Structure 1
Amino acid sequence: MTAHRPRFSVRWLAAGGAAVLAGILGVAMLLHDSGAACAAPPGTTQKTGKATFYDLAGTSGNCSLEVPADDLYVALGPEQYSKGASCGAYLDVTGPKGKVRVKVFDSCPECPAGHLDLSRTAFKKIGNEIDGIIPIKYKLVTNPATPAPITVRIKEGASRYWFAARIDNHANLLASVKVASGSSSFRTASRTDYNYWLIDAGAGPGPYKIKITDVYGNTATVTGVKMSPGTVQKTGARITGGSTTAATIEKAKTPTAKASSSAAAKAKASTAPSPSATTAAPLTESTAAATTSDAPANQPAVDLAAAEPAAPAC
C-alpha cells in the first residue's frame, strides 16, 4: 500500500509478504506520573528493527535541513525523533546487503520506535528496493565526521526582537545553544520540533556569539553571526572529538555549504564508545582563542563510559 505523509514526502511500504520481525527495540521511555511517555533519541547501543524508504516531496524534512549531498538520510518516528532532539545526528544502519551511514533529517509520524524510514538511495545500499521493508540493525554514531564545519542559518522573519537559528554539521546530539549579542551576556535558546533554536524576546541586533554544546559536553563558540535571515553562514568550527573551540563566521557566505573534496575519506569516522577516543578536526579560518568548556545547563548527567546521549528533559 502507499501512505501519504503531509507536507514533505510520499512513503512507500511493502504490501504483504513481509517477514515478521522479532525483537524490535525502541529507546527507553521515561514516564510522567500521568503515564505520558517521554521520548528519547536512539542510543549508541546497537538495536534491531526494520526499514522502509520514501521519496522526499518537498525540499526539506521536518529538521529544516538541506538535503545531504550524498542523499543519505533517515526519518524517525515520534519517540526517536524526540521533538527535534535527534536532528542532525547520524545513525549507522546495517541491512541484508551491507551498512550505510544516514543523517537524521525528517520525522515519520506513523513509525514506531525501531522503524527507520530511509531515503531511497540509502535503502538501496543495504537492501533490495523491491522488498520494500527489510530487517536492520542500527545505532547512533558518536563523533561522526561531517562534510563541512558548523553552519548557522537565521530563520526568515527573525529580527533583533525574535531570534531563531538553525545549527547544522554539529555531528552529535545537541544539549544547548546560547546566544549573546555584542558584549551582552549569553541567553539560552529553546529548541523547536522543527530544529530551530528560539529566543522569543530576541537576542539584540547582533553580530552574535553562539555557544553550542553537545550531549557529551563538547563545545564550540562561533562569532560574527549576522542577522541575515535565510542565509547559511559558514564557520570554521567543528565540535566533535572532545573539542572546545571558537571560530568566526567566514567572510564569504553562500546559501549552501559545499562538501570538501576529502568528504569521502572522512566518511570513515570513528565510532569509539567514548568521545575522548577521537581527536578534534582542525579548524579552518579560525581566528578566536579556545574557550573553556561549559557544561549544558539543566541537562541529565551523561554516562561517558557507556557513551549514551542524555535524554531531553520532559
Structure 2
Amino acid sequence: MPPHSKKPLLLLAATLAALLPPRARSAMIVPLIPPPYDEQFSGDATYYGVTPDGDGNCAIRSPLPEMYDGMIPVALNDEQYADSYMCGACIEGEGFGEGEGRDPVEGAFKAYVTDRCPECLFGDLDFAADGDGRWDISWHFVPCEGGSDQTFLFEGSNEFYWKIQPRGGRSPVERLWINGDEAERSEDNFFILEGGPFDGEQEVHTKTVLNKRRRQSVAME
C-alpha cells in the first residue's frame, strides 16, 4: 500500500506524548495532526462478524444517532484509531473486488468507526459484518451527513465525577471542557472530569477535529 507522508509526524507526536505525565498527555492532541479529512487511504478490508451496538471500544450504544442509518460499523486500525480520537467518524470508501476469500468488497460503501482493530495495519478497516476474506479498498473520512444534534451519554457519573460522551455531531469531538475545566479523554470514547459538585446544568464546551466549537447547557441524566 502507498506510503503516507504524515506517519513520521504521528510517530514523533506519540513518542513525545509518552514522555509526559497522564494529565498532560490528555491535553496534548497526539494523533492525526491535522485531521486527515482531505486524504485518501488504501488498505485491506476484513470481517469480524455482526456485534451488538455498543460492544466496540468506542461504546457507541443504542439508540444510535440516525446519521449512522444504513452504514457499516467498522473497527479502525490501531494507529488511526489513536486512543478513541476518531470514534464515531464517518467514512466513504470503495472496494475493488480484488483480494482473497469468499465475500469480496465491491463498489461504494459508507461506514462509521465503532471499534479498534489492534492487529490491522495503517489504512485497514475491519467490518462488523458477516463475511470472509481480505480485500483491497480505498477510503476517506467525511463529515457525517445529517449530524448536528449533539447529545451526551453519561456512564458511572455522579455529582463529583462526570464521564460523558458527546455523540451525534458531524465529526468527532477532540476536546471537551466542563465549566471551563478540560476533561480527560478515555480510551473508550468518553471524557472524564472529577471535582464538582456538578448540580443541575453545567456548561459543556466542545471542539471537534474539524475545529467546530459548541457550547451547551448539559445536566446529568
Q: Aligned residue for 2:36?
A: 43
**Letter of the structure 2 residue corresponding to residue 108 of structure 1:** C
Once the two structures are TM-superposed, the CA of residue 94 in structure 1 deviates from its matched residue by: 1.0
1:138 maps to what in 2? 139
Residues 259-297 of structure 1: per-residue CA shift (max 9 Å, x gap)? xxxxxxxxxxxxxxxxxxxxxxxxxxxxxxxxxxxxxxx
User: Offset at 1:192?
Assistant: 0.7
Equivalent in 193, 197, 200 of residue 194 of structure 2: 200
Q: Distance in 2 between matches of 1:213 and 1:201?
A: 21
Listed as ranges, the gaps of 5+ residues in structure 2 are 20-29, 97-105
Helix, strand or coil at the partner of 1:70: coil
SS across alignment from 1:23? coil
Give the whole-Å Cα distance in 1 for the aligned partners of 2:111 and 2:215: 26
1:213 counterpart = 2:207: yes
* C-alpha contact (below 8 Å) 1:27/1:43 kept by paired residues: no
**Superposition pairs for residues 159-308 of structure 1, below 5 Å?**
159-180=158-179, 186-202=180-196, 204-223=198-217, 225-228=218-221
Structure 1 residues 146 and 34: CA distance shift in structure 2, 3 A? closer
The 3 A distance-change label for structure 1 pair 26 and 115 is farther
Q: In the alignment, which residue of structure 2 is the partner of 1:62? A: 57
% identical equivalent positions: 23
More contact order relative to length (CA 8 Å, sep ≥ 6): 2
Relative to the length of structure 1, the TM-score reads: 0.54
1:213 CA displacement: 1.2
SS in 1 for 2:81: helix
Q: Given residue 145 of structure 2, which amino acid in structure 1 is its aligned partner? A: A
Matched with 1:87 is 87
Q: Which has the higher strand share?
A: 2
CA distance in 1, matches of 2:58, 2:6: 20
Q: How does 1:9-24 map to 2 (within 5 A)?
A: 22-23=1-2
Seen in structure 2, the aligned counterparts of structure 1 residues 147 and 55 have a Cα distance that, compared at 3 Å, is farther
| Distance change (3 Å), C-alpha of 1:34 and 1:172 | closer
Structure-2-length-normalised TM-score: 0.75
How far residue 152 of structure 1 moved from its aligned partner, in angstroms, is 0.6
Closer/same/farther in 2, CA of residues 24 and 151 from structure 1, 3 Å limit? same
Q: 1:56 Cα shift?
A: 3.9
Taking the aligned partners of 1:79 and 1:144, their CA distance within structure 2 comes to 21
User: Max radius of gyration: which structure?
Assistant: 1
Report the RMSD for the aligned CA atoms in angstroms: 2.7
Q: Distance in 2 between matches of 1:214 and 1:85?
A: 10
Conserved 8 A contact 1:174-1:213: yes
User: Any unmatched runs of 5+ in structure 1?
Assistant: 1-21, 122-128, 181-185, 229-314
Deviation at 1:203, TM superposition (A): 5.6
- Equivalent position amino acid for 1:30 in 2: L
What is the rounded CA distance, in whole Å, between the counterparts of 2:153 and 2:18 in structure 1?
37
Give deviations 1:172-205, integer Å, cap 9, x for gaps.
232211112xxxxx21111111001110234621
C-alpha spacing 1:104/1:200, structure 2 compared with 1 (3 Å)? same
